[in-house]
């Protein structure tokens, strides 16, 4: 109901609810009312489409979502993704995934 009050379209509301459910399911419970999203943002985590988290950046996005650098294990393409999306990302170069976020070069 709150999202409707904000004027969001039905499709956007569905996307946000699905993202929240995925995030909650992938969270590791560490105590009353506390969750840590370590599993899908851990360096070395590989999702089912072969996308690996290789580093965390200092960049953040909407709602303080941290940007992580992902590497495709098929073609080695590197791109940025929000931490809450690392489990569902597909490579933008060889798997028709959404375009990646810009990331700074590693130092």
Q: What is the pTM of this model?
A: 0.65
- Give residue for tokens 């609810």: 17
58 Cβ contact partners less than 8 Å away, ≥ 6 residues apart: 104
Kindly compute the dihedral angle of the four CA atoms of residues 66, 69, 74, 77, in this order, to the nearest 10 degrees. 130
- Give residue for tokens 């009050």: 5
For residue 46, the SS3 value is strand
| 100, HSE (Cβ side, Cα atoms, 13 Å) | 25
Name the least confident of 6-10, 48-52, 93-97.
6-10
What are the extents of the domains in the chain? 2-36
Instruction: With a cut of 70, say whether residue 48 has pLDDT above it.
Output: yes
Q: Name the pLDDT band for 32 (thresholds 50, 70, 90).
A: low
Residue 19 or residue 31, greater confidence? 19
């Amino acid at each position: 109901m709150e999202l409707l009050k904000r004027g969001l379209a039905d499709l956007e509301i569905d996307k946000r609810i699905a993202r929240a459910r995925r995030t909650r399911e992938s969270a590791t419970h560490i105590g009353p009312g506390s969750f840590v999203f370590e599993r899908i943002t851990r360096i070395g985590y590989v999702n089912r489409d072969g996308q690996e988290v290789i580093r965390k950046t200092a960049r953040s996005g909407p709602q303080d979502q941290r940007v992580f650098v992902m590497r495709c294990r098929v073609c080695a393409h590197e791109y940025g993704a929000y931490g809450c999306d690392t489990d569902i990302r597909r490579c933008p170069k060889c798997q028709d995934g959404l375009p990646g976020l810009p990331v700074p070069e590693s130092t």
